[in-house]
């Protein structure tokens, strides 16, 4: 009788041990055991040690602009909008000016030169007159700078070449009254650096060919 009891106890212990091992194996496979291994990233230190590493997702922080930064952003936005509006006009003007210059090559007769200039002037007025009158004074200043950028001449020089010194002086006086200047140049490396950056963006966006 005792031997039968011992055999039963032995069988019970064997079943209990096997059941415990199976349970531990199943738990380890599910990755939920208290002693399971958790895989993490690793970083190698300068001394050769390998330590666990984790990388957090980027966090974007937003805040209201204050003081000089708010003013700077407002100025940039105003300039960007003006460039977007006026740059197509500057491109069109430079194209017409280049065409006129080609037609005037070798033409010495003043009457013939005036005829060529006036014919293109009518085309420009028909195409852009109404749109240009809707520009603000600030946008007009930006446009004159962009025309210089595209042609290499300021607006005073262009008017003087095609319409004479008197007309150039007259429109220069008008421009000065409205706080502008026909003799504005263009400096992409200093005072007009922001404008040049915006123009490059416009060229990439709309497929314009740079000078």
Per-residue pLDDT tens over the stretch 74-132? 999 999 999 999 998 888 888 888 888 888 888 888 888 888 888 777 777 777 777 77
Q: Report the interhelical angle of 137-151 vs 67-104 (nearest 10°).
A: 50
Dihedral (CA of 165, 166, 169, 172) sign: negative
Q: How many Cβ atoms from other residues are within 10 Å of residue 163's Cβ? A: 16
CA distance 134 to 194: 24
Over 60: is that where the pLDDT of 4 sits? no
Q: Enter the pTM of the model.
A: 0.63
State residue 49's pLDDT score: 86
State residue 105's pLDDT score: 83
Closest CA to 116 of 153, 78, 161: 161
Please report how many Cα atoms fall inside a 13 Å half-sphere around the Cα of residue 209, on the Cβ side.
4
State residue 30's pLDDT score: 52
Closest CA to 195 of 85, 94, 92: 85
Beta-bridge mates of residue 176: none
Q: Find where tokens 């055999």 sit.
A: 7
Q: Which two tokens stand for residue 29?
A: 């496979």
Closest CA to 55 of 43, 38, 47, 37: 43
C-alpha pair distances (Å), 205 with each of 36, 209, 211: 55, 11, 16
Please tell me the least confidently modeled range out of 27-36, 60-69, 82-91, 97-106: 27-36
Q: How many Cβ atoms from other residues are within 10 Å of residue 154's Cβ? A: 19
Whether 192 and 186 have beta carbons less than 8 Å apart is answered as yes
């Amino acid at each position: 009788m005792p031997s039968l009891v011992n055999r039963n106890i032995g069988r019970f212990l064997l079943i209990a041990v096997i059941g415990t091992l199976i349970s531990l194996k199943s738990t380890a496979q599910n990755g939920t055991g208290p002693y399971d291994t958790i895989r993490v990233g690793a970083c190698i230190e300068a001394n050769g040690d390998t330590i666990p590493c984790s990388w957090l997702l980027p966090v974007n922080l937003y805040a209201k602009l204050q003081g000089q930064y708010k003013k700077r952003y407002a100025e940039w936005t105003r300039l960007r909008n003006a460039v977007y509006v006026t740059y197509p006009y500057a491109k069109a003007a430079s194209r017409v000016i280049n065409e006129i210059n080609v037609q005037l090559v070798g033409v010495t007769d003043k009457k013939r030169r005036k005829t060529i200039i006036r014919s293109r002037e009518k085309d420009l007025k028909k195409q852009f007159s109404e749109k240009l009158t809707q520009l603000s004074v600030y946008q007009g200043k930006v446009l004159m700078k962009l025309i210089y950028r595209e042609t290499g001449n300021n607006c005073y020089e262009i008017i003087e070449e095609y319409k004479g010194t008197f007309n150039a002086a007259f429109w220069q006086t008008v421009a000065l009254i409205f706080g502008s200047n026909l003799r504005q140049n263009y400096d992409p490396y200093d005072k007009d650096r922001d404008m040049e950056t915006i123009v490059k963006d416009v060229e990439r966006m709309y497929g314009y060919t740079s000078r």
